[in-house]
């Protein structure tokens, strides 16, 4: 008659069929258009970086599960490590040497994810924390983006990613439009001077197309109910609001909102990175606040910072604030008068 | 979302409001929504738990060996919040003993066991009441005598709800026929077959409440039931159809949809100016008042992995195994659930009897159950929670045993509908944690109340000793004069009695902790009287 206390017999007795693996698989599928367009414009280096980061993330995850004595089956292929690996690979410069992506992936899994307790418990977005580590430690290697207009398919990608000596990287790498404009503006140039070169870089680098592809994938994710609208909408609204304010204040010193929307990791960040559920707030209002602030910080870092893009640091900063945001944005409970 | 016969009343508008969250669950009841009912075979034994309702257990008035007819009284209410129990067929009382009852922990309770003689003789019905002259008091008395409890939910004695509603001058009666649980179609079937009785019952309930408005709520996929009701003389009652979103039939959710008002936290529907009764309860009230029949039968759905799913007319007290034998089990390995798949109780023992609240017997084929993994904070539970809680945060604090955190997150506003666990991609048994936390907190609070009471009794005893010449013993200074607080002169317990009580309280708390839910039997609670 008596069941052991661990046997759960509580209702409900049926389930919708949703699973963590299912959620992550749909995220990976929604990333595909962006990955394909990135490969088109930036060459096979993108695929190499994704493969390196994903394999390293899975290996590190398996090692940590083994060290912590956890079951492999439910966790290793739940897709969380794979998503972190793919996002990290997409963030990497396509021509960066292999050990950079590997180091970041291992750091992301071992320190950022498992040291905090594994899936569901990490305070920070693992992929972005790994990427930030590289930005801080290896700023020059992290600028290994293909020269806009260069024949990315004929370049010695393998030589750059798996270098015998370090010299080849500099030969093919150059600045992205984002870095080019930021460096120019910080070098006291005016936007009108930079515009022709920027436009050329834009067409060759395909940043607008890449962003459009991630936007498309993100909208699919939204329609499928995997993510909610609050974070992407907040992120883009925050980004537009701050860039518009700056641009209206002085159009010669600050790029337009459109420039920010079409460059860098804007759409990837809005739909795939900032929406990482574990490290973002849960309440609907909290997610809106989180997105707004993250989007605003992206513009500030891009304009006044020293990094190629601002998405990683903006998201990490807001990750730290997520528990606080959650606490102060709890909705009113049915039948309760107060808002707590 | 249609409203028939809308009159723009003072509380009910033609526009339905939404409620927060909810989830669309596959209905799995389309076939039974067109099917008629049939009678289940009479079982050889009928079993009546004394505690099958909210309140104190009923008190048996028959002895073993007594021959009874259908409709004869077996047990009477033991207090204001209790119920009467009547024999479901003619036969002989063979046992009054502990038997397994519907309970997630599989506990037993005192039951009256009736052996059927197969003749099914019926006691002469009570004389019908003249509705033209019956006072609310007379109606309430008849409803109480018929042993009617809420047939859709927890089994709250109906006359108590009505009495409280009457004394609070409630204006609005809602008849709830919103069967939001999957599989269950017995209310739908009952309305199709007995629409006139539902309307009549609603009218009697209005009269008993002295209410001025009545709304009968259905789901928007109950077309045939709607047709049947619409063809009756509604005499001012409104029919509303609500979207088939789980848990639209929840008391708080339905009140919000119909009135726009919310039941205050820790309050009752009467605090929102509403009394709600299930549609089957309304029909049972009609039976009791105009036909003089006590509640001995109900309609329930048998569904899932059975050969012939059906809406069955079942005598209260019928063992669930008997119903499954009758319908045929179609999968060897299945979980049997009393009630719906979202909120029902999984049975450990199929011999437990149908009680007045049992609206469904469900056999769910044992699926491949995936293990629970940690919460990824996806927030799907927040989206669906009809109480607007933070299920994922509640889970974390409940798991950590942080009872203050649990209270701060309003655990006691949780209606245990299970929408959160249904959508959880991590497959966390969230409701299990909430129930566990609730029972732990209730046990703690009980212990605290008992301790406070013992303390005040002890103080009272010291005061009495002091007054009875304790001045010489120098006790006065130690006793604070708080005469208003302690209970009135209670029999002074000596130290041994107090120690026994404390030991008993601790033992009860431990037992509750072990069982997760309080023992339902009457062995508890005497210390507070």
List all residues 6 or more positions away from B222 whose beta carbon is below 8 Å from its beta carbon: B33, B177, B179, B188, B191, B241
- What is the SS3 assignment for B501? helix
Q: In this model, does residue A201 exceed pLDDT 90?
A: no
Residues 1-30 of A with CB under 8 A from B: 1-3, 5, 8-16, 18-20, 22-23
CA distance B349 to B103: 10
Task: Please choose, from the candidates B386, B492, B371, the residue with its C-alpha nearest in 3D space to the C-alpha of residue B428.
Answer: B371
The whole-number pLDDT of residue B393 equals: 94
Contact B390 A78 (CB under 8 A): no
Domain co-membership, A204 together with A107: no
Contact A13 B422 (CB under 8 A): no
The whole-number pLDDT of residue A152 equals: 67
Single out the residue in A145, A174, A203 at which a domain terminates: A174
B390 → closest Cβ in A120, A228, A282: A282
**Residue A336 contacts B where some CB pair is shorter than 8 Å:** yes
- What is the SS3 assignment for B75? strand
Please provide the DSSP assignment of A114-164 as one string. ITTTSTTT-SS-HHHHHHHHHHHH-TTGGG-EEPTTS-TTTS-HHHHHS-S
The whole-number pLDDT of residue B529 equals: 33
CA distance B165 to B159: 10
CA distance A263 to A2: 62
Region A223-227: what's the mean pLDDT? Answer: 94
Contact A14 B341 (CB under 8 A): yes
Q: Which of A3, A13, A125 to mutate to test the interface with B (most CBs of B within 10 A)?
A: A13
CA distance B251 to B415: 10
Contact A15 B422 (CB under 8 A): yes
**Domain B3-30+127-290, CATH class in plain words:** alpha beta
Give ipTM to 2 decimals.
0.88
The whole-number pLDDT of residue A149 equals: 57
B175-187 in b/e burial notation, b at 16+ Cβ within 10 A?
bbbbbbbbbbbbb
Q: Which of B19, B182, B421 to mutate to test the interface with A (most CBs of A within 10 A)?
A: B421
Q: Which two tokens stand for residue B104?
A: 């997630």
Domain co-membership, A54 together with A153: yes
Domain co-membership, A184 together with A316: yes
Task: Please choose, from the candidates A208, A215, A205, A207, the residue with its C-alpha nearest in 3D space to the C-alpha of residue A33.
Answer: A215
A11 → closest Cβ in B252, B342, B390: B342
The whole-number pLDDT of residue A141 equals: 84
B246-258 in b/e burial notation, b at 16+ Cβ within 10 A?
bbbbbbbbbbbbb
Contact A3 B348 (CB under 8 A): yes
Q: Which of B27, B182, B424, B426 to mutate to test the interface with A (most CBs of A within 10 A)?
A: B426
> What is chain A's Cα-based Rg?
21
The whole-number pLDDT of residue B519 equals: 37
Q: Please tell me the distance in Å from A15's CA to the nearest CA on chain B.
A: 5
From first to last of its 529 residues, what are the pLDDT tens digits of chain B? 334 333 333 445 556 788 899 999 999 998 898 889 999 999 999 999 999 888 899 999 999 999 999 999 999 999 989 999 999 999 999 999 999 999 887 889 999 999 999 999 999 999 999 999 999 999 999 999 999 999 987 889 999 999 999 888 899 999 999 999 999 999 999 999 999 999 999 999 999 999 999 999 999 999 999 999 999 988 889 999 999 999 999 999 999 999 999 999 889 999 999 999 999 999 999 999 999 999 999 999 999 999 999 999 999 999 999 999 999 999 888 999 999 999 999 998 999 999 999 999 999 988 767 889 999 999 999 999 999 999 999 999 999 999 999 999 999 999 999 999 999 999 999 999 999 999 899 999 999 999 999 998 889 888 888 888 755 554 444 444 444 444 444 444 455 655 565 556 556 655 654 554 433 333 333 333 3
**C-beta separation of A274 from A315 below 8 A:** yes
Provide the 10 A C-beta neighbour count for residue A235.
32
* B427 → chain A, closest CA residue: A19
List all residues 6 or more positions away from B401 whose beta carbon is below 8 Å from its beta carbon: B440
Q: What angle do CA B459, B464, B466 make, to 5 degrees?
A: 95
Residue with tokens 């506003």: B413
CA distances from B252 to A161, B247, B248, B275, B419 (A): 62, 10, 9, 11, 15
Contact B379 A277 (CB under 8 A): yes
Q: Please tell me the distance in Å from B418's CA to the nearest CA on chain A.
A: 5
B345, containing H or E segment: strand B345-346
Contact B422 A330 (CB under 8 A): no
Region A19-31: what's the mean pLDDT? Answer: 95
* A14 → chain B, closest CA residue: B341
For residue range A248-282, list pLDDT tens digits in order: 998 888 888 998 998 889 999 999 999 999 999 99
For residue range A30-39, list pLDDT tens digits in order: 999 999 999 9
> Which residues in chain A touch residue B388, judged by CB atoms under 8 angstroms apart?
331-334
Task: Please choose, from the candidates A152, A43, A25, the residue with its C-alpha nearest in 3D space to the C-alpha of residue A79.
Answer: A25
* A323 → chain B, closest CA residue: B393
Residues 226-265 of A with CB under 8 A from B: 228
CA atoms in the 13 A half-sphere facing the CB of B360: 32
> Which residues in chain B touch residue A118, judged by CB atoms under 8 angstroms apart?
374
> What is chain B's Cα-based Rg?
25
Q: How many independent structural domains does chain A possess?
A: 2
Domain co-membership, A287 together with A212: yes
List all residues 6 or more positions away from B351 whose beta carbon is below 8 Å from its beta carbon: B99, B100, B319, B320, B321
Domain co-membership, A84 together with A209: no
Q: Which two tokens stand for residue B476?
A: 């006065």
The whole-number pLDDT of residue A255 equals: 86
CA distance B102 to B343: 13
Domain co-membership, A148 together with A203: no
- The architecture CATH gives domain B43-116: Beta Barrel (2.40)
Q: What is the DSSP letter of B527?
A: G
| Length of chain B counted residue by residue | 529
The whole-number pLDDT of residue B366 equals: 80
Bridge partners (DSSP) of residue B67 are B92
The whole-number pLDDT of residue A309 equals: 86
CA atoms in the 13 A half-sphere facing the CB of B363: 24
Domain co-membership, A302 together with A191: yes
CA distance A160 to A163: 5
Domain co-membership, A54 together with A160: yes
**Residue A72 contacts B where some CB pair is shorter than 8 Å:** no
Single out the residue in A174, A193, A210 at which a domain terminates: A174
Q: Which of B373, B392, B411 to mutate to test the interface with A (most CBs of A within 10 A)?
A: B373
Provide the 10 A C-beta neighbour count for residue B350.
18
Q: What is the dihedral of CA A277, A278, A281, A282, to 10 degrees?
A: 70
B233, containing H or E segment: none
For residue range A137-187, list pLDDT tens digits in order: 998 888 777 765 556 677 678 888 888 765 555 545 566 777 777 777 777
List all residues 6 or more positions away from A182 whose beta carbon is below 8 Å from its beta carbon: A302, A303
Single out the residue in A124, A143, A174 at which a domain terminates: A174
Phi then psi dihedrals of residue B517, to 5 deg: -130, 150
Domain co-membership, A88 together with A118: yes
Domain co-membership, A125 together with A192: no
B391-402 in b/e burial notation, b at 16+ Cβ within 10 A?
bbbbbbbbeeee
CA distance B239 to B213: 11
In this structure, is residue A78 part of a structural domain?
A: yes
* A18 → chain B, closest CA residue: B425
CA A20 distance to own-chain centroid:
19
Domain co-membership, A57 together with A189: no
For residue range A70-124, list pLDDT tens digits in order: 988 888 889 999 999 999 999 999 889 999 999 999 999 999 999 999 999 999 9
> Which residues in chain B touch residue A117, judged by CB atoms under 8 angstroms apart?
374
Residues spanned by the domain of A202: 176-330
Provide the 10 A C-beta neighbour count for residue A266.
28
* B407 → chain A, closest CA residue: A340
Q: Where are the domains of chain B?
A: 3-30+127-290, 43-116, 380-428, 434-528
CA distances from A262 to A88, A94, A143, B146, B500 (A): 20, 19, 19, 73, 76
Contact B256 A1 (CB under 8 A): no
Residues 99-118 of A with CB under 8 A from B: 117-118
In this structure, is residue A14 part of a structural domain?
A: no
* B375 → chain A, closest CA residue: A120
**Residue A181 contacts B where some CB pair is shorter than 8 Å:** no
**Residue A68 contacts B where some CB pair is shorter than 8 Å:** no
The whole-number pLDDT of residue A10 equals: 84
Burial class (CB in 10 A: 0-12, 13-18, 19+), A152: buried
Domain co-membership, A224 together with A110: no
The whole-number pLDDT of residue B525 equals: 36
Phi then psi dihedrals of residue B166, to 5 deg: -65, -45
Please provide the DSSP assignment of B264-310 as one string. PTT--GGGGTEEEEEHHHHHHHHHHHHS---S-EEEEEEEESBSS-E
> Which residues in chain A touch residue B375, judged by CB atoms under 8 angstroms apart?
120
The whole-number pLDDT of residue A338 equals: 57
């Amino acid at each position: 008659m008596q069941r052991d206390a661990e046997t759960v017999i509580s209702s409900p007795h049926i389930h919708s069929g949703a699973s963590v693996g299912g959620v992550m698989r749909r995220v990976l599928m929604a990333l595909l258009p962006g990955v394909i367009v990135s490969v088109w414009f930036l060459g096979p280096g993108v695929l190499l970086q994704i493969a390196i980061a994903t394999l390293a993330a899975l290996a590190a995850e398996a090692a940590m599960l083994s060290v912590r004595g956890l079951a492999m089956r439910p966790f290793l292929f739940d897709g969380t490590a794979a998503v972190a690996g793919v996002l990290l690979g997409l963030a990497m410069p396509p021509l960066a040497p292999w050990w950079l992506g590997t180091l970041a992936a291992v750091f992301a899994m071992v320190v950022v994810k498992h040291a905090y307790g594994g899936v569901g418990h990490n305070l920070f977005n693992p992929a972005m924390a790994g990427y930030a580590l590289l930005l801080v430690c290896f700023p020059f290697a992290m600028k290994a983006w293909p020269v806009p207009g260069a024949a990315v398919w004929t370049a010695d990608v393998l030589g750059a990613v798996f270098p015998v000596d370090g010299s080849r990287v500099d030969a093919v790498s150059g600045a992205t439009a984002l870095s080019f404009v930021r460096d120019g503006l910080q070098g006291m140039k005016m936007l009108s001077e930079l515009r022709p070169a920027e436009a050329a870089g834009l067409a060759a680098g395909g940043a607008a197309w890449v962003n459009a592809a991630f936007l498309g994938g993100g909208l699919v994710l939204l329609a499928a109910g995997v993510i909610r609208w609050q974070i992407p909408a907040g992120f883009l609204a925050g980004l537009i609001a701050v860039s518009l304010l700056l641009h209206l204040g002085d159009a010669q010193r600050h790029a337009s909102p459109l420039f920010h929307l079409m460059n860098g990791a804007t759409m990837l960040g809005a739909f795939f990175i900032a929406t990482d559920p574990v490290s973002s707030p849960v309440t609907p209002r909290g997610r809106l606040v989180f997105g707004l602030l993250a989007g605003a910080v992206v513009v500030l870092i891009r304009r006044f910072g020293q990094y190629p893009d601002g998405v990683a640091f903006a998201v990490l900063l807001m990750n730290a604030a997520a528990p606080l945001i959650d606490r102060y944005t709890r909705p009113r409970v049915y039948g309760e008068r107060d808002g707590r | 979302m249609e409203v028939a016969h809308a009159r723009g009343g003072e509380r009910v508008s033609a526009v339905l409001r939404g409620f927060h969250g909810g989830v669309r669950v596959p209905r799995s009841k389309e076939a039974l929504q067109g099917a008629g009912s049939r009678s289940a075979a009479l079982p050889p034994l009928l079993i009546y738990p004394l505690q099958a309702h909210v309140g104190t257990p009923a008190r048996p008035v028959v002895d073993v060996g007594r021959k009874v007819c259908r409709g004869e009284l077996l047990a009477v209410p033991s207090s204001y919040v209790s119920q009467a129990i009547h024999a479901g067929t003619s036969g002989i009382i063979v046992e009054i003993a502990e038997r397994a009852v519907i309970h997630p922990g599989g506990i037993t309770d005192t039951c009256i066991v009736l052996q059927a003689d197969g003749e099914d003789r019926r006691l002469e019905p009570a004389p019908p009441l003249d509705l033209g002259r019956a006072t609310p008091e007379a109606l309430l008395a008849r409803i109480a005598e018929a042993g009617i409890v809420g047939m859709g939910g927890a089994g709250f004695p109906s006359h108590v709800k009505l009495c409280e509603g009457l004394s609070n001058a409630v204006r609005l009666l809602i008849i709830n026929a919103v069967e939001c649980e999957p599989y269950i179609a017995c209310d739908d079937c009952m309305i199709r077959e007995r629409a006139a009785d539902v309307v009549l019952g609603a009218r009697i309930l209005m009269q008993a409440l002295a209410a001025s408005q009545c709304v009968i709520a259905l789901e928007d996929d109950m077309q045939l039931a709607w047709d049947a009701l619409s063809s009756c003389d509604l005499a001012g009652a409104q029919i509303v159809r609500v979207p088939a979103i789980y848990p639209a039939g929840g008391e708080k959710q339905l009140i919000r949809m119909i009135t726009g008002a919310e039941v205050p936290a820790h309050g009752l529907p009467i605090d929102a100016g509403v009394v709600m009764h299930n549609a089957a309860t309304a029909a049972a009230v009609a039976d009791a008042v105009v036909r003089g029949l006590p509640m001995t039968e109900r309609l329930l759905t048998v569904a899932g992995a059975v050969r012939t799913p059906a809406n069955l007319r079942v005598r209260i007290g019928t063992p669930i195994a008997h119903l499954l034998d009758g319908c045929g089990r179609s999968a060897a390995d299945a979980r049997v659930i009393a009630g719906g798949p979202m909120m029902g109780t999984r049975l450990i023992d199929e011999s437990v009897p149908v009680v007045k609240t049992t609206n469904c017997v469900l056999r769910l084929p044992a699926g491949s159950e995936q293990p629970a993994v940690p919460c990824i904070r996806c927030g799907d539970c927040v989206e669906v929670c009809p109480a607007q809680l933070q299920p994922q945060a509640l889970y974390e604090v409940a798991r950590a045993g942080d009872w203050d955190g649990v209270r701060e997150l309003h655990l006691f506003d949780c209606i245990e509908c299970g929408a959160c666990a249904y959508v959880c991609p991590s497959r966390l048994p969230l409701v299990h944690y909430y129930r566990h936390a609730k029972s732990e907190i209730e046990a703690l609070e009980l212990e605290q109340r008992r301790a406070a009471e013992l303390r005040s009794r002890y103080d009272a005893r010291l005061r009495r000793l002091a007054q009875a010449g304790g001045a010489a013993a120098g006790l006065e200074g130690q006793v604070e004069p708080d005469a208003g607080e302690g209970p009135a002169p209670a029999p002074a317990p000596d130290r041994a009695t107090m120690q026994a009580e404390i030991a008993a309280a601790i033992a009860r708390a431990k037992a509750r902790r072990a069982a997760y839910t309080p023992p339902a039997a009457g062995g508890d609670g005497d210390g507070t009287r």
